[in-house]
Structure 1
């Protein structure tokens, strides 16, 4: 081997050594960042596993019943049941002193802050039953996903959210809750103009036996589509108030039928029975291609698709109700019981309207 060959071999060896040395930490980093699965046996502490999890991790619950609540404050975390056999959360007999979620009466809480929202959390394949307030409650979140959850027999809301954006609530079963099955709001503790939910969606859920199936309150840029709401006192509410801007939503391709359960009056609303879709204090909403049938009652809010002046004085304005099938509702299929301006009823299939002439 010549001196030149030896020199080239030495150079090549140095280059390879340098590359290997540089690549070592880089190659190790992805391994360190591999998401982990934290498995929880029935009855063990979910909160302990959640607290140990890092962004990207999954907390996987074995089938069984867990008498506890859990609070999620870590972004990009997944909490899920087995998806095969029921994974059920019910209230703890004696909540821990520092369990703020349980003390608020909730099953699962996903909470961030105004300056640091919790992002990218997924909750799926759980049953949340019998909590005094909500099965699942979230606040200050971005891109929360709630899927394949059964929320039943909770005192207030099945699944609820405030002060959040881009939430996606899909393929859940929500039944027998004291107020709304699914409840989305700007904020629950004060009057405030509607805020931009930035494309929040409620889709393909089955909602039955609640006071109101779905409530969208003081939000804009929300889509409610392809849900089934039946057996509630009212199927769906889009609610605004005197503040500006008012509520706005797109409500399309839902099946809203026989929401004829009777619910007593509250300080804000009369008794409910037989309401399909109700707009109160809404503007620029689109209600299209829904099937709204057999909603029958004698409440001021009874009927298939109803526009009703807000109980705090706000009218419905510039809403479009088009191409819906609205039949066998009472006291009317379409009812404009408001003094708002610019509301359009176009291409709907119906029999009775208030005032006459909209069918």
Structure 2
């Protein structure tokens, strides 16, 4: 068995090397070697990581990384990186989101290299890898936020765009602290069942229901370039979204989304966001629990996966500087469909990043 795995990884290493600098990169024609697809493409002197195709390497084999991409320890040399933040200590209801990144990676083995809907070819234009998980403190949420903030400062300093797998929605706060340090106040496309703008919950100001209140207080968001899509459910007051609107946010309650395509909405959102930096934060509970039951605070009558894809594809052309997919809770995801949906939505995010190649 040891020899089998050693030979597999040698074959994979020969097919997809991680990662060479632009000075080391060389232009070679695509070839099939050892039963795996070897693709060495040159664009502006760069060489790209290409996941092994399931045509030649079984999906069930190998160590689970996001989309079966190579793993590396840092974001150095990467255009985009998948990174996990495995916490649920900010959760107010069902726990389990700390296992979200791990399960998303497992289900992501089904992903392929090209987006058949948009014809995006992310691995022909961006250097992408899985850089593992942030080393969180599961006993101390404030310390975890500090660790996340410091880790994302390092990621962003390399010029890499982080694609984050949560973890509960608390993580958006320290991530946006790091993002705003680099880019200044950013626009926000926030897809969620909940506004996450509470001030204090059970005496605490940091949790998964408060991140965007904290972000506004610290000037991390350009409030005229914030849209919240899919909000719904019962509330603690007659108008649960009054505070959001008072800040200048555009609030799109789920009732405005029922029975329709969201492509026209996203045309308006792109105009609202303009050319400035934008962060995309997608809580899986934005989707109806009939589609995504594996989450901590499900709300009925939500968005469909089709609408979720429309929202993300509608971000094409925006100056995206970071994205996250949060609140996948595998203990409540008995079929794996929630994590599988999350993996596909993350792939869609990758496919709308700046400088994407489309056929």
* TM-score scaled by length of structure 2: 0.29
Q: Which has the higher helix share?
A: 2
* Structure label with greater radius of gyration: 1
